[in-house]
Amino acid sequence: MRDVNFAMTQTQKVRLKRALQCLRDCSVASSPVIVADTIPVNLEDNILKGHGTAELEGEVVATLCGAVERVNKLVLVRPFRARYKPEIGDIVVGRVIEVAPKRWRLDINFIQDAILMLSSMNLPDGIQRRRTAVDELNMRSIFEENDVICAEVRGSQNDGSLHLQARSQKYGKLEKGQLLSVSPYLVKRRKQHFHYLEQYGVDLILGCNGYIWVGAHSDGGGKNEDFEDLSAKLEDKMEVEVSPLAPHKEEASSVPLGTRENVCRLANAIRILSLLGFNISMELILDTVVASVTWNTTVRDMLGGEFYTRIAEREAERRSSKRATQV
């Protein structure tokens, strides 16, 4: 749990303290250890010492604070909190910090910047061809500094740099929304990180790197269109001669007030869950949004002490009931 700077009454502080204590008691972490704790194992079973463990004076000790996990003969320590460690195929959200020759440098909440090569993304005209000098000169017409981009981790190169790719129509520039930053360990890897909430008219992208995008749903990005349909639309709308790399500029459209309110409500729900230290999942986000509507809580009041306390109390009650049924 993080320290909260909400203005809270004494009653709310007592309620919150009781709820947080209940959440700690209901923690499902098994065999928690700290650094230098001894892990009870039988060395005669030829166990494998995994991440977070080491052998010292004939005993296996923990080198991290976390929970002990056993997979067959493998013993490892899973840290409670950890920095983002990229894996191939991860969906990440980043911000462009530099436009360099044939590449963009992105901040993805990692120990080093990521690189998106010009050759690792689809061209706006939809044609598969080699990149030319003209394409390189027009890179700023695609992405420029401070643009928010969604991409996929391609892997690390020999020089240690992390490379991304955006070869699918669902990747690209993100607009008309909010970029949120949470601790990466709160976002678990799942099969689906792209979500379209039709009832709210909002797109939600849960980046594995802890950057989360909440924005108005857009059909123009090609996320829900086939490649052939997108190419046909571009060819029909191109009436003037433009650079091969220049994207088609559509007329700016304003976001309806209701959609903007939904974006802010979803963003505040994620902020509350992050402050409480809960895993950020689609189900829990929607559950928090529904609770705010049911309790007639305004978007602004969602970041107040009362709503924060009620969410903690509700989650503590839910976990207590689940634990009681399992016993």
As averages over each run of 10 residues, the pLDDT of the chain (327 residues) reads 70 90 72 83 79 86 86 84 87 94 92 90 74 86 92 85 88 92 90 92 94 86 39 38 40 78 95 92 94 94 92 90 75
Domain assignment present for residue 210? The answer is yes
Strand partners, 62: 53
The answer to whether 93 and 213 are in contact (CB under 8 A) is: yes
Q: How many Å apart are CA 266 and CA 108, to the nearest integer?
A: 22
Which pTM value belongs to this model? 0.79
Show the DSSP H helices in 94-226 as ranges. 133-137
Q: What is residue 156's predicted lDDT score, i.e. its pLDDT?
A: 85
Determine the longest span between alpha carbons in the chain, in angstroms: 76
Residues 95 and 243 in one domain: yes
266 and 204 share one domain:
no
Whether residue 206 is contained in a domain is answered as yes
Residue 1 in domain: no
Within a domain: residue 252? Answer: no
Residue at 200 is within a domain: yes
Which tokens in the block code for residue 122?
Answer: 């689809």
Q: Report pLDDT for 122.
A: 80
**Which of 247, 270, 297 corresponds to the end of one domain?**
247
pLDDT of res. 34: 85
Question: Are residues 199 and 285 located together in one domain of the fold?
Answer: no
φ/ψ of residue 17, rounded to 5: -60, -40
Query: DSSP state, 235?
Result: H
pLDDT of residue 14: 92
> Domain tally for the chain?
3
> How far is residue 2's CA from residue 103's CA, in Å, rounded to a whole number?
37
Residues 142 and 39 in one domain: no
Residue 228 is predicted with a pLDDT of 38
Structural tokens at position 84: 């983002």
Q: 114 with 168, same domain?
A: yes
3-class DSSP string for 64-132: CCEEEEEECCEEEEEECCCCCCCCCCCEEEEEEEEEECCEEEEECCCCCCEEEEEEEECCCCCCCCCCC
> Looking at the domain assignment, is residue 3 inside a domain?
no
Compute the distance between CA of residue 9 and CA of residue 105 in angstroms, rounded to an integer: 46
Domain membership of residue 294 as a residue range: 10-26+258-326
Q: Give the per-residue pLDDT at 197.
A: 93
Tell whether 195 and 270 lie within a shared domain: no
Q: What angle do CA 268, 271, 272 make, to 5 degrees?
A: 90
Chain length of the chain: 327
Whether residue 315 sits in one domain with residue 195: no
Is 36 within the bounds of a domain? yes
Is residue 42 located within the same domain as residue 164? no
Same domain, 289 and 216: no
Note whether 22 and 45 are same-domain residues.
no
Q: Which two tokens stand for residue 231?
A: 């190419």
Report the pLDDT value the prediction gives residue 253, as an integer from 0 to 100. Answer: 65
Q: Rounded to whole angstroms, how far apart are CA atoms 181 and 274? A: 9
What is the domain-level CATH number for residue 73? 2.40.50.100
* Domain-embedded: residue 181: yes
End-of-domain residue from the set 186, 214, 247: 247
Look up the CATH number of the domain holding residue 211.
Answer: 2.40.50.140
Task: Output the pLDDT for position 235.
Answer: 40
Dig out the tokens for 183 from the structure: 């601790």
One domain for residues 183 and 50: no
Domain end position, chosen among 247, 276, 311: 247
Helix (H, G, I), strand (E, B) or coil at 245: coil
Give me the pLDDT at residue 218, please.
79
Same domain (yes/no): 21, 38: no
